[in-house]
Structure 1
Amino acid sequence: MGCPFAQLSPLLLLSCLVLFFQFGASFLSPKPLLASLQRGRSLADASAGVGSSSRSRAASPPPHHGGSSRDGGGRGGSSRSGGGPRMLGVSDVLAPPELQLQSDEGFEGEPLAWTESLGSGGPLFFADLLRTQASTLEFELALGRSPVPRCMDTVCNPERRSRVRNLIYTGDRVRKVRMSYLDTPDMQVYSTVAYSAPGHDFPLLGLSAMAMGSVRVLALDLQPLFPGEDYAAKYADANAKLKAIRNKYPQLGEELRKDYYKGSPFFSDSMMYARWGPKEEADGFMDKVVMPAFRECMQAYVEIVNQAPAHAPGSPTEQAVLERQAEFDRFHAEREQVRPILTSKFGASFADTYVSDFLFAYGGGQR
């Protein structure tokens, strides 16, 4: 496959690789990115705005309160392992008056109500990834939607034609699955990370997909929670499942640059990686390769979750899982470069809190 990044600068190319597992862990420094994306472009009309199934309110500081009906679990008010995400503790996080919040009403409705992109009125390139994952989590793993901090289910800046959709799922075996879809005139990014409940230590499911101009890039991995041969042997079957899917879809086995991943304890040797351009897009790359492979990966993840052995409550292993997940978030938080992009679209105050309290919440000690 020809490299669709040939027209991009080396810094931008490296940043695309570093992005993965960090929209969450990375975009790149904003100057070359925004320059390359916005040069010669006009912003499209934002009339495709926010989903009608959500309620919108200006983000002059929402009233601070210690608890609400949104605290404590998913549908039906059930308590979830590991605890729900805490509400943000700063009243001025969303101070910019142009920022709007949409809060899900009782966790009802579609996980993604958008029908088209803000940028061009065209398609949402990765909507099927989000919806497929949400459906699998709900119906095959019985996970429930849980509160998003400070009701940030959807955040929109109409003036900048930018919005981000955030979802959290929790369950007995899965501590948290965070899902984010960033939609701007410049790019679309879908990112997700799934953490095991403390009673289990199965690998983290991580996926990042980015559309930027005519370029599409995707990476997916079952990321080992612990280093070492014992852990690798324990989850050798999980690693083999991912390798088998990658072998079935060789287009997802492109060579990675080793700079970022070299020496990292949180990436496996079975990672799927692909980049494609207009020709592959026209040939149905998403429908013929990405989506079938992703469905198989989600089925493999379901099997891994359901078959994973449990640790005794209060065991040292349980505490080790919590500490290792915190280390995972710190590892990525130290390397993240998404803050400048979020700052340019939503303001610095929101960007700082969103990164530390939503994207990498466990790195700051959230339980």
Structure 2
Amino acid sequence: GEGAEIGRKRRRRSRSRRWEENSRNVREAEGMHGMPWRDSVAAYTAPEFDLMAGTVAKVSVFQTTRKGGVLGFEDGGAAAPLSSSSSSSGRFPPSAAPSSPLLFMPFWEWQMEFMKSELTNLRPSSTVTPSGVSVGYNENRSKGARIVNHCYASDEYRKIRMTYYDAGDSVQVFNSLWYPQLKYDLPILGIDLLAFGRQRYLTVVDFQPIHATEGEHASRYERALQSLRQPYRSLQGTMTDRFYDSARHFSSQMLFGRFEDEAAVRDELWPACRGYTAAHLDLVRGCVPDESREATERSRGGQRRYDNYSARRDPAHALFKRIFGEEWADAYVYDFLFDLSEPGEEEELSHGDVKR
């Protein structure tokens, strides 16, 4: 009826205003290092600017592109706006078909557009660690690898960290973690997408529990995820215990894929990842916030245990030591990726908790 149409128009106007406000807040952060990249380890010069530290330095990115092309960027090295055929439209872009060297860049682009249109008071956070190490960008010319990191916060999320690691056809990685504000005692949204040699693919998307025993708390969101997960057969695999204990900080409705057919990225991973991301925000919005000291300390303790557990087991730590050096890798893992962690600290269980 007329009332419903008025409501829809108001929601559209509200979303449009939110997108405009958030875009102004993150535009400068998005422009760092020419993001979103359009080709693998391409040649350009982009400003490295940390909004919190207020420093600018030129970063020369090396020429080792698969296609041999040089990207064209607008002022300051910023990438051109997304076209109508980009990931913002909801379709997997033709430019990200198997011929594209940046397989997971559409996931980065879609996430940025989703954050700008759906989150409240989205703002960039510093990518300089407390020890003064800048982790926003790094490269190793001789090994043909580069990494970029963004970090954001909103009224809904304490921290949203985004990472893209580009080593040409040998390795492509998109990783993101969404930590709810501490007033929401909720799981962390974890996204980890890896491609090796464009022949082997390992993907994880999950609502990662922050407490060892979730009980009814977990059953609410796991029931909702079950219907989202059901159509995607290639994402219903079982995680091994090589790096992580699947009974700790992983849910029973985790999207886990280990496959060799790249078409699954487009056909299953693309819609499934977007569905889980939207569902996580719905979970946050539907949660009654509790800002009492007891509640926020419980959430902080759970997120800290998650960070300690993840920092000590992250297999990327050894890779980044080899590529970028030990000092940078340690600062990156302990002070940025998992900033509530303490090197060497054991992740204790909550009092009375047991594994699920």
Q: CA deviation at 1:337?
A: 3.0
Indicate how the Cα distance of structure 1 residues 146 and 134 shifts in structure 2: closer, same or farther if over 3 A, else same. same
Pick from 256, 273, 280 the counterpart of residue 239 of structure 2: 256
1:312 aligns with 2:295: no
Q: Secondary structure at the match of 1:312?
A: coil
CA–CA distance in structure 1, aligned partners of residues 280 and 342 of structure 2: 27
AA matched with 2:334: S
1:139 match: 117
Task: Say which of 24, 46, 54 aligns to 1:54.
Answer: 46
Q: Tell which deviates more after alignment, 320-329 or 258-267.
A: 258-267
1:227 aligned partner: 212
The code of the aligned residue for 1:239 comes to E
Code of the aligned partner of 2:284: V
Which of residues 337, 348, 362 is equivalent to 2:315? 337
Is 2:213 the counterpart of 1:246? Answer: no
2:195 alignment partner, one of 203, 207, 211: 211
SS at match of 2:41: coil
**Matching of residue 176 in structure 1 with residue 159 in structure 2:** yes
1:364 is displaced (CA, Å) by 3.0
Give the corresponding residue for 1:70.
Answer: 52
Q: Which has the higher contact order (CA 8 A, sep 6+)?
A: 1
Deviation at 1:195, TM superposition (A): 0.9
Cα distance in 1 for partners of 2:316, 2:242 equals 19
Whether the 8 Å contact between 1:206 and 1:220 is mirrored in structure 2 is yes
Cα distance per residue 1:131-190 (max 9 Å; x no partner): 222222221123322221254322222232110010111012210011111111431121
CA contact (8 A) 1:136 1:298 kept: no
Residues 318-337 of structure 1: CA distance to partner in whole angstroms, max 9, x if unpaired? 01211221111111112233
Query: How much has 1:111 moved relative to structure 2?
Result: 11
Corresponding residue number in structure 1 for 2:142: 159
Question: What do you get for the CA RMSD once the two structures are aligned?
Answer: 3.6
Instruction: Give the 3-state SS of the residue equivalent to 2:202 in structure 1.
Output: strand
Task: Indicate conservation of the 8 Å contact 1:173/1:197, yes or no.
Answer: yes
Q: Secondary structure at the match of 1:139?
A: helix
Confirm whether residue 291 of structure 1 aligns to residue 270 of structure 2: yes
- Once the two structures are TM-superposed, the CA of residue 109 in structure 1 deviates from its matched residue by 5.8
- CA distance 1:48–1:274, change in 2 (3 Å): closer
**Using the alignment, how far apart are the partners of 2:117 and 2:265 within structure 1?**
23
Deviation of the 1:267 alpha carbon = 0.9
> Matched residues in 2 for 1:309 and 1:300: separation?
16
> Are the equivalent residues in 1 in contact too, given 2:166–2:172 (CA < 8 A)?
yes
Matched AA of 2:273 = F
Q: Which amino acid aligns with 1:248?
A: P
The answer to whether the 8 Å contact 1:173/1:199 transfers is: no
Q: Tell me the SS of whatever aligns to 2:189.
A: strand
Partner in structure 1 of residue 349 of structure 2 = none
Task: Please tell me whether the aligned partners of residues 148 and 164 of structure 2 are also in contact (alpha carbons under 8 angstroms).
Answer: yes
Aligned mates of 1:331, 1:130 — CA distance in 2: 25
Q: Report the Cα offset of residue 256 of structure 1.
A: 2.9
| 3-state SS, counterpart of residue 310 of structure 1 | coil
Q: Which residue of 2 aligns with 1:192?
A: 176
- Residue 83 of structure 1 corresponds to which residue in structure 2? none
The yes-or-no answer on 1:352 pairing with 2:330 is yes
Q: 1:329 to 1:207 in 2, by over 3 A?
A: same
- Contact 1:99–1:155 under 8 Å retained in 2: no
Partner of 2:34: none
TM-score, normalisation: structure 1: 0.65
Give the conservation status (yes or no) of the 8 Å contact 1:190–1:210.
Answer: yes
Preserved contact between residue 47 and residue 77 of structure 2 (Cα < 8 Å): no
Cα separation, 2, equivalents of 1:356 and 1:154: 16
Tell me: CA distance 1:258–1:323, structure 2 relative to 1, closer, same or farther (3 Å): same
Deviation at 1:206, TM superposition (A): 0.7
The runs of 4+ residues in structure 1 deviating greater than 6 Å are: 97-100, 105-108
- Structure 2 equivalent of residue 29 of structure 1: none
Determine helix, strand or coil for the equivalent of 2:230. Answer: helix
Cα distance in 2 between the residues matched to 1:218 and 1:350: 26
* Whole-angstrom CA distance in 2 between matches of 1:190 and 1:69: 23
